[in-house]
């Protein structure tokens, strides 16, 4: 069972580059109501998915990390596979939708390997 990990720029970069599976980064802000609504959904997804690492990066605390990926709207969810960004979602999503997005990312990753 995984948990959502709060990450700094350095920690997020290290986890993304070291992980050979799927990493989902939640670019979030404490003042963002849709971000707060998405948090329990991400907690549930992380808890039910053994092969997924979910990172939460506060864009106010780490603006350079968000800027480096061109993130300008919140929440933005970015999927990474083998250290590379492969899929981006802007806005809050439900659990079912995120499960489908994750499956699509996995399918594309398997097709390319």
Active site residues: 32, 35
Tell how far CA 111 is from the center of its chain.
21
- The residue count of the chain comes to 113
Q: What are phi and psi of 71, to 5 degrees?
A: -80, 125
Contact (CB, 8 A) for 2 and 50: yes
- C-alpha 109/C-alpha 92 separation (Å) is 24
The count of other CB atoms within 10 Å of the CB of residue 89 is: 16
């Amino acid at each position: 069972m995984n948990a959502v990990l709060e990450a700094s720029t350095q920690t997020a970069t290290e986890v993304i580059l070291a992980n050979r599976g799927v990493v989902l980064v939640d670019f979030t802000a404490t003042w963002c109501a849709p971000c707060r609504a998405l948090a329990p959904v991400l907690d549930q997804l992380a808890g039910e998915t053994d092969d997924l690492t979910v990172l939460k990066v506060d864009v106010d605390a780490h603006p350079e990390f968000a800027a480096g990926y061109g993130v300008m709207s919140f929440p933005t969810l970015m999927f990474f596979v083998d250290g590379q960004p492969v899929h981006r979602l802007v806005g809050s999503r439900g659990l079912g939708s995120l499960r489908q997005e994750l499956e699509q990312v996995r399918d594309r990753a398997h097709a390319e390997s």
